[in-house]
Every structure is written in structure tokens, then in C-alpha cells.
Amino acid sequence: MPLSRRTFLGSALTVPTLGAATATATAASPPGDVVGKVTVGYQGWFAARGDGSPLDGWWHWSQDWGRSPSPANHALKAWPDTADYTTRYPTDFGLLGDGRPATVFSDHDQQTVDTHFRWMREYGCDTAALQRFNPVGGEGPIRDAVTARVRAAAERHGVKFYVMYDVTNWTAMRSEIKTDWLGKMRAHTASPMYARQNGKPVVCVWGFGFNDPARPFTPQECQEVVDWFKAQGVYLIGGVPTHWRREVEDSRPGFGGVYRGFHMLSPWMVGRIGTAADSDRFHTDVNAPDKAECDRLGIDYQPCVLPGDLAERQRAHGDFMWRQFYNMVRLGAHGIYVSMFDEYNEGNQIAKTPETRAGVPAGSAFLALDEDGTRCSSDYYLRLTGDGGRMLKGALALTPVRPTPPLPGPVERDLAAGRPTAQSSQTQQYGGHLAVDGDPRTYWESANNAFPQWWQVDLGATSTLTRLVLGLPPDPAWGGRTQTVAVEASADGGAFTTLVGAAGYVFDPATGNTATIALPTGARARFVRLRFTGNTGWPAGQLSVLRAFGT
């Protein structure tokens, strides 16, 4: 079992007082799948007995993987919210505070990974960095299996991914990382969802130069690996020590050339800061001169943003994380790396987490998101990440004031999922139900060369609606297209009125192949009908996803 990064890096580091550098927002590289984007670190390392995985054990849930998680045998700092998983595994914890069984998930289940990547798409996480520790030992088969599931989920939900090698405790890394890339991981770059930057597949190597015994490699060994990967034609990211530029504190001396050989640098921050004030200090004394050095050398800069350790009460109901987003965006960061998506072991997860103690095992020490007295929705840190990404991209004005409410008011949900559908026509087996089956690869297609056509869904009850999300399969083979669509509503399925007049909506597989239609305030309907009158990509109405959000 690889030890966590915090095991080695948890001690506080001093920050020297330096003058703040003035930096520009100009990246060395144009926007791609990491430059100008939000990347989330994805561990994908949880398994459970009975999940059919090669380990058949409680991988990363327990200290002893052979025994079920319990108060005396667990490896967690935070408890997951498992409501969205169809398969759950019972533990030896007591009941949750609300009386439900205390269950966990497994990343060996495709539905688990699909759920995670669906969240990424819905909340604006552009790219997932799949962590890959030493794959040669006993964990190799399950890591290979999870990689395949990540690829499938990324393709199904239109989220980019790349391989992030973590060299912790990987004794024969120098040779084995090359063999693993050539023999296994490089094949995944054939996926249309494998991340690319500057036309090259993205790879990250995390851990070179850290001043701890888990990564004893020499500068010469590390430089050889950096040069080798670049010769393979990849865009190479370095997950480097916090103080890489000065080669002090968590960095061993002599690695300056190694660090500056990467195309992008992503300095580590977990365990370095715990308050908004810490973020401000680092912005001035570390991040600003770091970016100035990267700008000078033509290296892209991807700083870390973290939600905070829940167990150590760092989160301040989102203010801590938002301050980091604000600082990194005003700095002109070329991309942002969120640490981490699913790190329940270190308490730095943004994935869904119980809102209150009703959702954690009764009598346990686990905290819920309301630990400081402010109740936050289980998806709050996903929503916060989405807003931070919008600020990075300029879709949200730069602001030090957190715009994301801990509770969003009436909770919106997709009212169309799995509901009955009807349509004016269909081609072959491409029926209307395929637009609400949860799989963006399946789709409805109307009769060809016969506009207008319509598709509709019965929500089951008259509901207040705020927006519709329409989608086509995210496979780039579809190509971009514009469909002309109007939205109609009915209370009884008979008489329809127009909610939104006919307009052209652009579907681009490079950005997920979805389009959002904002509905008038107070729009209500039981039956929602889409009327198609044009399609620049094919002479028919086409729809793989319809999500009707409302209450």
C-alpha cells in the first residue's frame, strides 16, 4: 500500500518573505485540455470485498485490507456520501446518524466511476488526472482495471483524462515507468477523451525532487525520465515540491534543471496552507515569483487549489477554497489543479460528502460539511469548483467574494431522467427513450429529410423548470453541428404553448457536445416538447441527452 503524500509532507513549511512579482496571464501554450482548464486529481483507488476486483479486499478503505472498515480499522479522514451509487458495500461501522447502514463504494464498479465522471461533467471539471502508483506489484491488475473504467467513463460523459504517475516508493521507477507507458498506458491515448495539449498527449510525473526517503532518485535518474518522455512526443507536467524554484524546504538541492525541463509545473500545496491568510501569503511570497519564473522560461504554470482538510476544520464553508481560486486567477495561472476529487483518506475531497452528522457513522469522529455551523449541500465543493473554473475562464468576474451559496435554495434535479417519452418519428432502433436513459452515447434520431420533427418527455407532474440541457454523443466522430430547436410546454399533453422560440444551438464535441437552454422565470410544465426544424450536421432531429432541471 503506497503511503499517502501527507505521510511525508505534512509538516508545516516556512515561507520566506519575498517581494511579489508582477505576472501576466499569457501562457506559454494556447488553451487546450490543461491550459485554461480545471484539472482534478482522481485517485480511483477504492475497492471492497465482493466487488469482483483482483484484490478482493478493502483497498484504501481499511488499514488492514483483509478486514472490513470499522472504527478500529479504517484509513479515512472523511466519510463519503454514497446516495448516488447503485452498488454499495456494508462495513463494520455502526449505522449512520439517520439509521441507514454505513456503506462504501468500489472503483472497480463501472457505475461508481461513471458517477464520478458524470459529476465532473455536470460541475465543470474539465480534465481528470488519474493517479498511477507503482503498477508492477500486487496492485497492478486493479490499477489497470480502473484505468479501463476511467477511459470508458470519460468517453461516456465527455470528460478528458490523462495518466499521472506518482513515483512514491517505486524503487525501480527509472526503467519500469518506461515499460508501463509503452506496454500499457500509451494505448489509452487512442481515446478521443485522452487529454492533449499543444497537440500532444498529456502525461504527468509527480514526485521528483521531494526531500523525503520515499523518492530517493538522483537528479540524473529523473532527468533521464523527463527527457525520455519528451522524446516520446508527450506534453509533460511535473508535480513538483512547493519550493522547487529555490530548491529548499521540501525540495532537495540539485533538481533545478529537472524542474525546468517540464512543459508545465504544478507545485504541491496540500499540508502547506490551511487558512485564507495562508493563501494570501503564498500568493505573494511563493506563487507570484513561481509564475514569473515560469513565464521567463516559457513553462506553463498550474498551481494547486484544495478544499481543505475536513478533519482539521480548514474549510470555512468554502471561503478557504475560494480565496485560493481568487488568488490563482488574479495571478494569471495558466490552469488549476484541484487536489483532490476523491481523497477521503486525507479529507481533501470535493466529491459528495455528508451534509450533517446524519450521514456519517453514529459515534464516529468523522465530521460532516456543517462542521463549522454552516450547513453545506453534499455537492457544495463540486459547485464551488465549477464556479472557480468559470472565473478562471472569464465567464465569472474576478471576485474575492465567494459567489457560491453553501445551500442552493430549492434543490434542482433532473426531472426527465428515466421518464416516458414520445416522438413524431424515429429512425430504425433510435427511439426517444434513449435520450433519458443516462447514457450520452445512445440517441434518438427522427426520420431523415422530413423537418419539422418533435420529441417530448412526460415529467409525471407539473413542475417549475429553470433550464434544459441537450446533448449529443461526445465522440469527436460526430463533428460539430447546429440544431434549430424550439421548446414547448403542456400540462396535459394535448395543448402546447411555446416557452422558447426556435433558435440555433451549437453542439461541439470538443466541449462536451451539449447545449443549455435557459427557460423563462416561473416556467411550468408536465410535458416538455422539443421541436426540431434544422440540423447542419444531419437532416434529422438528434438527441442523446435531455436533462430538465427544476423543482
Q: Is 11 exposed, middle or buried (CB count within 10 Å of its CB: 0-12, 13-18, 19+)?
A: exposed
Let me know if residue 379 belongs to a domain.
yes
Closest CA to 533 of 512, 494, 505: 505
Q: How many residues does the chain have?
A: 551
Domain assignment of residue 275, given as a range? 5-392
Let me know if residue 352 belongs to a domain.
yes
Residues 533 and 430 in one domain: yes
Residues 426 and 305 in one domain: no
Let me know if residue 398 belongs to a domain.
no
Angle at the Cα of 421 (from 420 to 426), degrees rounded to 5? 145
DSSP letters for 257-283: HHHTTSSEEEE--TTT--SHHHHHHHI
**Residue 220: φ, ψ to 5°:** -65, -45
Residues 358 and 243 in one domain: yes
Question: For residue 103, how far is the Cα from the chain centroid?
Answer: 23
Last residue of a domain, one of 392, 421, 448: 392
What confidence score (pLDDT) does residue 26 get? 64
Let me know if residue 133 belongs to a domain.
yes
Closest CA to 341 of 110, 46, 29: 46
Let me know if residue 406 belongs to a domain.
no
Let me know if residue 405 belongs to a domain.
no
Residues 368 and 458 in one domain: no
Residues in the chain where the model's pLDDT stays below 50: 1-24
* Contact yes or no for 300/29 (Cβ under 8 A): yes
What are the tens digits of pLDDT across the range 61-99? 999 999 999 999 999 999 999 999 999 999 999 999 999
Helices (H) and strands (E) in the chain, counts: 10, 22
Closest CA to 322 of 342, 307, 304: 307
Residues 327 and 462 in one domain: no
Residues 418 and 378 in one domain: no
Which CATH number is 487's domain given?
2.60.120.260
Residues 437 and 351 in one domain: no
**Number of domains the chain contains:** 2
What confidence score (pLDDT) does residue 21 get? 35
Residues 332 and 428 in one domain: no
**Residue 410: φ, ψ to 5°:** -55, 125
Handedness of CA 384, 390, 394, 395 (dihedral sign): negative
What confidence score (pLDDT) does residue 18 get? 33
Radius of gyration of the chain (CA): 24
Residues 427 and 293 in one domain: no
* Contact yes or no for 334/28 (Cβ under 8 A): yes
Strands 300-301 and 200-206: unpaired
Residues 418 and 388 in one domain: no
Closest CA to 125 of 392, 459, 414: 392
329/30 Cα distance (integer angstroms): 16
Let me know if residue 400 belongs to a domain.
no
Which CATH number is 117's domain given?
3.20.20.80
Residues 371 and 475 in one domain: no
Residues 342 and 419 in one domain: no
Question: For residue 144, how far is the Cα from the chain centroid?
Answer: 20
546/482 Cα distance (integer angstroms): 16
> pTM score, two decimals?
0.74
Let me know if residue 349 belongs to a domain.
yes
